[in-house]
Amino acid sequence: MEAIGVVGSVKCDTGRAQKENNKKKRMKFTVKALSNSSNGTGRARVGLLQLGNCPTPIETPSLLLSTRKALLVFIAPDLLPSLLSPDSHLLQVSPLHFLESPTPNAISSIRGLHKMVGLHKYCFVAAPRDSMLCLPACESSNKFGASFETPCSRRLIRPVEYMEMISSLKPNLWASLADEVLKLDQQMKDLAKLLMVEQSLLVFGRGYNYATVLEGALKVKEVALMHTEGILTGK
């Protein structure tokens, strides 16, 4: 009985070690360099991100390829290997694209996004914010959840509902819903602190509500032809 107990404990320890090793293989971040600012407040860093699905480490910061329901809209899945690697292995997906179909239960039965779309060697980064279809509506967000403009009209996403979608999608990385609710206010406060000491400022950009890059370029062209102290364009 004692021998059986020892063998059983060894098997349990071995199983735990294997699980820990698998977790370590799933994600690993190594810092390569830190910013050195004159006032000592620099927080930027450059590193290598190793994810289990990606064959090679990814240098950060890195760009994400935007998807619609986990599939790229400008290239077929069988042509993905022709893109530069490993930069093309990070795919951004919005859980809000799956509000109508397929349901979280259906995705869970398939065991996540990777198996549903057949992209096993690619890494999915889930974030509710989407530059075109799912725009945050901060004025309607409250303590119960975050509000977004979606193709299914404006929706209030509760934390429980959001975590249910995350659990079914099984992305490699995901952004919390609380970060989306507070992101805009914190960005405005940080920006106000930076601009408080400035005597003059010139800003050109394209807002989230501009449907295309061309529309943003036309607005910039209109401003360039004017002599004005300040102008705000948009609908």
Alpha-carbon distances of 215 from 115, 131, 134, 208, 218, rounded to whole Å: 38, 15, 19, 12, 5
Residue 161's SS3 state is: helix
Q: Determine how β-strand 173-174 pairs with β-strand 123-126.
A: parallel
| 96 contacts 60 by C-beta, under 8 angstroms | no
What pLDDT does residue 204 have?
56
| 107 contacts 155 by C-beta, under 8 angstroms | no
- Taking each continuous run of H as one helix and of E as one strand, the counts in the chain are 6, 10
What pLDDT does residue 168 have?
92
DSSP 89: G
| 125 contacts 172 by C-beta, under 8 angstroms | yes
**Locus of tokens 């690697």:** 85
Alpha-carbon distances of 97 from 69, 92, 101, 214, rounded to whole Å: 6, 12, 8, 25
Residue 32's SS3 state is: strand
Alpha-carbon distance 151 to 130, whole Å? 11
DSSP 138: G
Q: Determine how β-strand 58-60 pairs with β-strand 45-51.
A: antiparallel
* CB crowding 89-105: b at 16 or more within 10 Å, else e: bbbbbbbbbbbeeeebe
For residue 192, give both structure tokens.
Answer: 């106000």
Set out the domains of the chain in order of their start, with CATH numbers.
25-184 (3.20.20.105)
Q: Show pLDDT as tens, one digit a residue, over the chain (235 residues).
A: 333 333 333 344 445 545 544 544 567 888 888 776 655 555 677 888 887 777 778 888 888 888 888 888 888 888 888 887 777 888 889 888 888 888 888 998 989 988 998 888 888 989 887 766 777 776 677 777 888 877 777 888 888 888 899 999 999 888 887 655 555 566 667 777 777 777 666 665 555 554 555 666 666 666 666 555 554 554 4
What pLDDT does residue 62 have?
81
Task: Indicate the pTM of the whole model.
Answer: 0.60
